[in-house]
Amino acid sequence: MLSNHIQNGIETAKLAWSRLPTSEETQSSDPEPGSGVNGSKVESLDYEIIENYAYREEQARRGKLYIGYSVMVKWFFSLLIGIGTGLAAVFINLAVENFAGWKFAATFSIIQHSYFAGFIVYMLINLALVFSSVFIITQFAPAAAGSGIPEIKGYLNGVDTPGILLFRTLIGKIFGSIGSVGGGLALGKEGPLVHTGACIASLIGQGGSTKYHLRTRWLQIFQSDRDRRDLVTCGCAAGVAAAFRAPVGGVLFALEEVTSWWRSQLMWRVFFTSAVVAVVVRSAMGWCRSGNCGHFGSGGFIIWDISGGQEDYSFQELLPMAVIGIIGGLLGALFNQLTLYITYWRRKYLHKKGSRVKIIEACAVSVLTSLISFGLPLLRKCSQCPNLEENSGIECPRPPGMYGNYVNFYCRRDNEYNDLATIFFNTQDDAIRNLFSAKTFHEYSAQSLLTFLVMFYSLAVVTFGMAVPAGQFVPGIMIGSTYGRLVGMFVVNFYSKLNVEEGTYALLGAAAFLGGSMRMTVSLCVIMVEITNNLKLLPLIMLVLLISKAVGDAFNEGLYEEQAQLRGIPLLESRPKHYMRRLTAKEVCRNQKVVYFSRVVKVADIVSALRGSKHNGFPVIDYGRNGETLVIGLILRSHLLVLLQSKVDFQHSSLPSGSRDGSLTVRHNISEFVKPVSSKGLCIEDIHLAPDDLEMYIDLAPFLNPSPYVVPEDMSIAKVYNLFRQLGLRHIFVVPRPSRVIGLITRKDLLSEENEESTTVELQSTSV
């Protein structure tokens, strides 16, 4: 049918490519400049199925068996993603815990003799680790810097930032995280794990890495952007599930925070992947507990079991808890704003000067962090250890950094501990465990908590945006739990008759700060419950999250949205802006001069069109019997480049190709048109054509998308926006009002059995 339609009324291919005249000869408006890593341009993905002739032929060949096979492979891939991400998380944790363990053990043994020498060793180890991280990022994998969540969010929203899902990015992310987290910077490994999961998913989806010759053919089944999108969603959920040992939190994180399109089949697969991760991580933990993994034992993975804490809460406590929510919203919004300014300044002035500046910057921040975390506890007075109950699980004192609890650091007596060192001079997981601790004595002074809050908040702001892999979850939890505990101390004194736990307030503070900064609600709530193993606190966590999100929203956007904007990632949020209701499609396209091709087009004209514009999609027109113009479809730039490079479709004649009955010939396999994921792909400068080639013609009919989405010129941009967002489109044609209607389709037509039967018959006859 398609070929008949195209064949109808073709006289000669006229104008090859040209500009449809518009009333005003002005330049087409450029979209907001998107510059991803290294200033490379972000590009939209083709989530729409290009139903061209090659695709239709292939669909007709596929039977029910193939559908069953592809479903099975999808589940198998989900399993592989779960296993891969789980193992990557175990490896990162194992390395971080061991590096941190060795660092603290070496420092502690030296400070027995000299605190200055101890500091030098501590600082140098941190510096070496941070240097390794920033070196990997600047020299090998620039796309692995930061948490990667804004870029992955962009990818799932339909925008590809070059390099984010490459094999080298995965390697950079894993080893870079080990250096930056092990080096004691004010950042976490959880965001990078989401990116790691996404990279693993994408690599599995494309059957490995082409560049590094690590590719297997039998895995190369899902090659469209759409299929990869589903796999990357599974990878994101797996990353969160691995980072927090929170499988349900992982599923909800993918749903609430990163994806733009969701459907029930995907939910099942994401759920399965998260469950696999949970099993892998738990098995690895079990094995490590028996001492097989050096310093990595029960710590490392975030799980702060605070069961045994506050059993119940009273009505009066709701007020201070609401205050925690408000402070969380304010501090979170302030964090977003400050990091936005600093990142902007960095990108504009500092990072432009090259990788040497990035390395110096990271090293300077590392020295500063070491100085603060080692130096400030030296200024604190130590406190007497209380008489702790036996089997309470708490030990006091302990040498610094030796598996948490109360650290004896620069104390005169053996039974004293330094409360500031207990937070600063420890791994972040141990520090948080201490801050969340319940049923203990009032071990922190307000002065120490305040000092830590101010210092760590400032460090986290400065560290954010450096050229190292960096997550914001753990710094957020540290900041939130510190101020939460401060509020808790006040509440304990105020409501002395109630059974109030400071640890509970620390937990609520952590939830509130994360809610105020990241603006997640459901997923964060479930993650907090999963990592603390305390279901009783669920209503309280919900309360503070709702308040902190509402307060934060009053000031600015969430952390990831702001960072995405700053990086030039054009995210389409779930709802169109209000002004869009008044604007029509015609008004938006007013100044455009449409660049289009005729059905049979001269090679030289394609080349000059591709060189002369950066557009990624072009309408293709044909001429009816009476000479009227027919828009027969949309051709993608990437497909044109494949045709130019392969040359197999070049013809001498300017008449349409194909046989007499009108059917078209396709000499390409559909996989040849697949653009490599997250890399630049072909560009016109890579293609070299001889002068004779330029005189040839190509018939575009077999390769174009004959059914692009079309909207009438009067449609409001709000409606166009919803179409784009909900269908994951890349191009929409704006056309004048159609002259006639050939039919109407309603819900019942879509479900009609008659349609199904007729399609089956048609398919059978085509495959014969």
Residue 617 in the binding site for ligand ATP (CB under 6 A): yes
Residue nearest to ligand ATP (CB): 44
Residues belonging to the chain: 768
Stretch that binds ligand ATP, among 89-97, 349-357, 518-526, 608-616 (CB under 6 A): 608-616
Does residue 654 interact with ligand ATP by CB under 6 A?
A: no
Q: Which is nearer to ligand ATP, 28 or 337 (CB)?
A: 28
Q: How far is the CB of 28 from ligand ATP (least distance, A)?
A: 5
At its nearest, how many Å lie between ligand ATP and the CB of residue 698?
17
Q: Does 458 bind ligand ATP (CB under 6 A)?
A: no
Rounded Cα distance, 378 and 409, in Å = 8
Minimum distance between the CB of residue 612 and ligand ATP, rounded to whole angstroms?
11
CB of 618 to ligand ATP, least distance (A): 5
Nearest to 504 by CA among 244, 309, 746, 648: 309
For residue 718, the minimal CB distance to ligand ATP (Å) is 17
Instruction: For residue 505, give the nearest of 665, 670, 317, 348 by alpha carbon.
Output: 317
Strands of 297-441 (E only): list them.
383-384, 416-417
Task: Based on the shown chain and the rule CB under 6 A, indicate whether residue 592 belongs to the binding site for ligand ATP.
Answer: yes
> Would you say 21 or 691 has its CB closer to ligand ATP?
21
Among 3, 7, 44, 202, binds ligand ATP (CB under 6 A): 44
Question: Of 62 and 614, which CB lies nearer to ligand ATP in the complex structure?
Answer: 614
Helix (H/G/I), strand (E/B), else coil: 41: strand
**Least spacing, CB of residue 337 vs ligand ATP, in Å:** 28
615 forms part of the interface with ligand ATP (CB under 6 A): yes
**Nearest to ligand ATP of 531, 734 (CB atom):** 734
Residues that bind ligand ATP (rule: CB under 6 A) add up to a total of 14
Q: Which amino acid is at 605?
A: D
Nearest distance, CB of residue 593 and ligand ATP, angstroms: 6
* Angstrom distance (rounded) from CA 149 to CA 138: 19
What values do phi and psi take at 665, rounded to 5? Answer: -110, 135
Q: Which residue has the tokens 């509440």?
A: 491
- Residue 618 lies near ligand ATP (rule: CB under 6 A): yes
User: Quick one: 295 or 731, whose CB is closer to ligand ATP?
Assistant: 731
Find, among 361, 309, 506, 321, the residue nearest to 423 by Cα.
Answer: 506
Residue 730 binds ligand ATP, judged by CB under 6 A: yes
Cβ distance to ligand ATP smaller for residue 271 or 618: 618
Q: Which of 524, 595, 601, 664 binds ligand ATP (CB under 6 A)?
A: 595
Q: Contact, 161 vs 39, CB < 8 A? A: no
Provide the CB-side half-sphere exposure for 594 (13 A, CA).
21
Alpha-carbon distance of 766 to 2, in angstroms, equals 14
Interface pick for ligand ATP out of 170, 435, 479, 594 (rule CB under 6 A): 594
Site pattern 16..35 for ligand ATP (x: CB under 6 A): ------------xx-x----
Token pair of 747, please?
């819900």
Contact range with ligand ATP by CB under 6 A, out of 119-127, 319-327, 519-527, 587-595: 587-595
For ligand ATP, the binding residue among 614, 679, 714, 761 (CB under 6 A) is 614
Pairing, β 617-623 against β 733-735:
unpaired
Closest among 629, 686, 637, 619 to 17, alpha carbons compared: 619
Kindly state the smallest distance separating residue 734's Cβ from ligand ATP, in Å.
Answer: 9
Nearer to ligand ATP, 27 or 626 (CB): 27
Helix, coil or strand: residue 381: coil
Minimum distance between the CB of residue 7 and ligand ATP, rounded to whole angstroms?
A: 25
Scanning 69-77, 413-421, 612-620, 733-741 for contacts with ligand ATP by CB under 6 A, the matching segment is: 612-620
For 719, the 3-state DSSP assignment is helix
Residues 289, 298 contacting (CB under 8 angstroms): yes
**C-beta closer to ligand ATP: residue 56 or 615:** 615
Residue type, 746: T
Q: Which of 267, 284, 254, 220 is nearest to 86 (CA)?
A: 284
Helix ranges, 141-213 (H):
149-157, 167-182, 190-205
Question: Which CB sits closer to ligand ATP, 26 or 533?
Answer: 26
Q: How far is CA 4 from CA 702, 738, 758, 760, in A?
A: 12, 21, 20, 21
Instruction: Compute the least distance from the CB of residue 46 to ligand ATP, in Å.
Output: 8
Q: How far is the CB of 269 from ligand ATP (least distance, A)?
A: 28
Q: Does 43 interact with ligand ATP (rule: CB under 6 A)?
A: yes
3-state secondary structure of 484: helix
Least Å from the CB of residue 608 to ligand ATP: 14
CB contact at 8 A, 733 and 631: yes
State yes or no: cis peptide before 469, omega within 30 of 0: no
Choice from 22, 355, 565, 616 touching ligand ATP (CB under 6 A): 616
- Least Å from the CB of residue 261 to ligand ATP: 17
> Do the strands 208-209 and 43-44 form a parallel or antiparallel pair, or are they unpaired?
unpaired
Please identify, using beta-carbon distances, which residue of 616 and 722 lies nearer to ligand ATP.
616
Q: How far apart are CA 331 and CA 327, in angstroms?
A: 6
Q: How far is the CB of 20 from ligand ATP (least distance, A)?
A: 8
Which residue type sits at 125?
Answer: I
Distance CA 254, CA 552 (A): 21
Q: Toward ligand ATP, which CB reaches closer, 119 or 618?
A: 618
Q: Which residues bind ligand ATP (CB under 6 A)?
A: 28-29, 31, 43-44, 592, 594-595, 614-618, 730
